[in-house]
Structure 1
């Protein structure tokens, strides 16, 4: 009985030792050295607990552990997103919108003119769209050499030739670097941006040197409209109530998946929702890509990087990058 109790308690202590160490190391409001010391002391404390536990003092170990965990969790729950920090220029605003019948008015739409990542013209705009002219939606994947990982953008096309791109971003503070591990521990807040498509795509292809693919998604206009409205609602909600980014549960893919599930409740969960570089095969498996083409063909024909470099600042950027893409040809 004592062995079983010790084993079960160890299976609780070990994960909490690791999780708590990372949480303290990333989120204690103090300089890096004291944070690292606090994380180390937390894990040493759990090591002593385990030694006491397997030395026959399991009840004493439990009495020491529970208050420590309670204090840690109360502190963790007290950490709230603020929404008013010194954000990087390209993440200064969250895009919001108003819908009145077929009229969509978007505020804080980003339309930067990028020269380099450090040299750009800042432009935040309000734009109006006619939802009766909404004709299609595209999925864009941007890869930067990490196997299986990509950033996902969603772009809505209108009969007047305009394309409105949405991207779910990690809202970094000025000078802050992204960390996947920090994304598990409330290090970053969440940002939803509506962008001029030339801004969103050209930044990744022509400025950052990423490889971008575009896929026309099989959605009828009413479903396209529902998805666009979901982005607007999510942006409005996020503007009212800030939220933390999470590497798994609140990222560029899972948020869009949750929006799509409101339209198609039976969409299945799949590992490719996390390994986003494989997302096109998931979308194909649920019938979401243009029929009559193999996935290899859609991948090849959807490679828009070279066309984006060639189009560069051309006002017809969106039309040029879609040349030869199934569904838009």
Structure 2
């Protein structure tokens, strides 16, 4: 009975770790598809051979073979390092950086593309300066693209000059590369923090990618707004100086923001809604970060995709998406 239990546990370990190993090889080997299929097939055959040895009475041979295989794989895995030296997609060619002198923050590589389609756009990277003493608002923007329970999260800062700047945490795609939630578990992407004009990062999601977006006015003291703005700048500077891998669960657009806020607000709880990012507004509401209205009302009045798509050329994008949003009445 003990032998059967041990062999069953060993079999389960081999199966689960082999699934992980095959996916790691698939997403990381820089070879054509047939070669990756061949390597994955070899791994599966060797894993099956290890199980056969173990179940046929040669326990140490079977276990030793698989442990050696996995040790070699982990040695290779540990040597995979993030890099800034890749052929990046145009919209991720740079990471925003910032310098601070008193209340003045100067941001380099602020993205301000004009998007006509996913592949048709005008590139523009700008240097912009902001006076943090004039920072007056923070908005949480969520944009859903069709994956149940998941949304991209952006944070937009508003100044009493009428300017808005939006920070977004992105996977840093290479040319001809597309997002993969599974690949995000296997070091497929680096991270990027970008400051962008709202006409860029927000409009492209509603008007080009046809995503469903909502905006929520965040309730927080101006000192905390400033701290969050600087947290984004510091995070961006760190990423610009040292590349870091994106991770679908532990280093994504929601968790990065949560980690920044946890350094500003004591006692922020961990919650499953940090993983189900489309439900992030519910979490923010529960910790006292949204306007004092029912969440469903905030969501309905904050839905702005149609307004963004129907905007008149004479209208200001930032004003239109905030019309009727709780907390913005009479302030635009």
The verdict on a shared fold, with TM-score over 0.5 as the criterion, is: yes
Residue in 1 that maps onto 2:302: 302
Q: Distance in 2 between matches of 1:84 and 1:235?
A: 17
Deviations 1:131-166 (A, max 9, x none): 001111111011122221111101011111111101
**Worse overlay, 36-45 or 210-219:** 36-45
Deviations 1:52-84 (A, max 9, x none): 222222211121122211110010011111212
Residue in 1 that maps onto 2:235: 234
Residue in 2 that maps onto 1:243: 244
Secondary structure of 1:155 counterpart: strand
Q: Distance in 1 between matches of 2:190 and 2:158?
A: 29
Q: How does 1:174-189 map to 2 (within 5 A)?
A: 174-189=175-190
Deviations 1:33-65 (A, max 9, x none): 111211121122112212222222221112112
1:9 to 1:190, Cα distance in 2 relative to 1, 3 A: same
Residue in 2 that maps onto 1:201: 202
Q: Distance in 2 between matches of 1:75 and 1:146?
A: 32
Residue in 2 that maps onto 1:319: 319
Secondary structure of 2:310 counterpart: helix
Q: Distance in 2 between matches of 1:145 and 1:63?
A: 45
Q: Distance in 1 between matches of 2:313 and 2:144?
A: 21
Residue in 1 that maps onto 2:36: 35
Q: How does 1:1-329 map to 2 (within 5 A)?
A: 1-291=2-292, 293-311=293-311, 314=314, 316-329=316-329
Gaps in structure 1 of 5+ consecutive residues:
none
TM-score, structure 1 normalization: 0.96
Q: Confirm or deny: 8 A CA contact 1:307 1:320 kept in the other structure.
A: yes
Q: Distance in 2 between matches of 1:30 and 1:150?
A: 32
1:8 shift after superposition: 3.5
Q: Distance in 2 between matches of 1:172 and 1:225?
A: 30
1:136 to 1:89, Cα distance in 2 relative to 1, 3 A: same
1:122 to 1:312, Cα distance in 2 relative to 1, 3 A: farther
Gaps in structure 2 of 5+ consecutive residues:
none
Q: Confirm or deny: 8 A CA contact 2:109 2:127 kept in the other structure.
A: yes
Q: Distance in 1 between matches of 2:24 and 2:176?
A: 22
1:281 shift after superposition: 1.1
Write out the 4+ residue segments of structure 1 that deviate beyond 4 Å after TM superposition.
312-315
Secondary structure of 2:150 counterpart: coil
1:24 shift after superposition: 0.7
Q: Confirm or deny: 8 A CA contact 1:202 1:312 kept in the other structure.
A: no
